[in-house]
Structure formats: C-alpha cells, structure tokens
Amino acid sequence: MTQEAGKGYDLGKFNLPPARGVNVPQAATKPEPIAKLNDLALAREGLSRVTFPGRPGKDSLGLDRPDEESMLVRGIPDHIIKQIESSFRTSGREAVLSFGHYVGAIQGLELMDSKGIAHLKKLAHGFAEADNPREFFAESIQPFLKNLTMKARF
C-alpha cells in the first residue's frame, strides 16, 4: 500500500468515537463583546472615520490622486503634514495648494470650531505669502498641527 508524501489516512470516514481524555472541540461561536461603544464615545477619542474629498490633479510622482481619502479623525494632522511634505517634492506652490485644500476640507467637515478654522486660514495665508514656504511650514504650520487634537463634531 503506497501513499503520497505528506498525506495520511482520512480517519473521518470511519466514524470513530473520541479518544478517552481528549476534549472534543465544540462548534465555534463568536464571543459577545464585553462593552459596546457608541459612535459618540468613539468620536470623543478620535476613533471615528471621516472621508475627505481628494485633491484634483496628480501627485508628486505623476500619479492621479484618489477621489477621496478616508482616515481616523485623530490621524488628520499627521496626514496633512505628510501630504504637504510630499507636495514640496513638486514645488512650494503645490505645498501651499495642498494645505489650502485641507483647510477647506476641515472647515467643510466642521472638525474644528470657528477660532481654530480662523487660525488655520491665517496660517494658510502666511504660508502662501512666505518667501521661504518650507521654512514657514517647519516653524509655524508643523508645530501647530503636531499639537492639534482633532475631534469629530456632532
């Protein structure tokens, strides 16, 4: 009697009783969640997901940008920093346009209060007027965004 390498006998065909002292696994059941968090509690922790409209045009690598970007609310500041740094690969003007896009998206999604939006607009204006946009970004915008904790507003 020959067998292929790696294959054994299929004992499931024999309908044998379980061996003594061996626990037979029961059918898998999903455990009930310990606590269910509602959307508001998740939003307070920055765990809610938002969808931003994508910027039109191509990115720094010449690829079409996605139509929309989806991310956790608390990850928005880091995402904006990465996108502006990526835009600097193309030009300072592209970085300014990128920041303006995110300021408008944050305002449209009402992720900040009016004072925060006003400060972002002031930074965007200063960024557009700066002689050295990369320096302005490093000294003004990046520290502001790193200290920012965004929360979904209801």
Confidence (pLDDT) at 25: 57
Total Cβ atoms within 10 A of residue 117: 16
Check if the beta carbon of residue 127 is closer than 8 Å to that of residue 133. Answer: yes
Confidence (pLDDT) at 148: 81
pLDDT of the chain, 154 residues: tens digit per residue:
455 555 666 666 666 666 666 565 555 555 444 344 556 666 666 577 788 888 877 776 777 878 888 888 788 899 999 999 988 988 899 999 999 999 999 898 888 888 989 999 999 999 999 999 999 999 999 999 998 876 555 4
Evaluate the CA torsion angle 69, 74, 78, 80 in order and state its sign. Answer: positive
Report pTM.
0.66
Question: How many angstroms separate the CA atoms of 18 and 150, rounded?
Answer: 57
- Which positions ≥6 away from 78 have C-beta within 8 Å? 145
The token duo for 62 is 């010449």
Confidence (pLDDT) at 34: 38
Confidence (pLDDT) at 64: 81
Q: Could you give the angle at which helices 92-108 and 76-87 cross, rounded to 10 degrees?
A: 160
Confidence (pLDDT) at 18: 63
Check if the beta carbon of residue 106 is closer than 8 Å to that of residue 144. Answer: no
Tens digit of each residue's pLDDT (9 = 90 or more) over 140-153:
999 999 988 765 55
Geometric angle at alpha carbon 42, from 38 and 45, rounded to 5°: 150
Give the amino acid at 145: L
Question: How many angstroms separate the CA atoms of 76 and 116, rounded?
Answer: 14
Check if the beta carbon of residue 56 is closer than 8 Å to that of residue 68. Answer: no
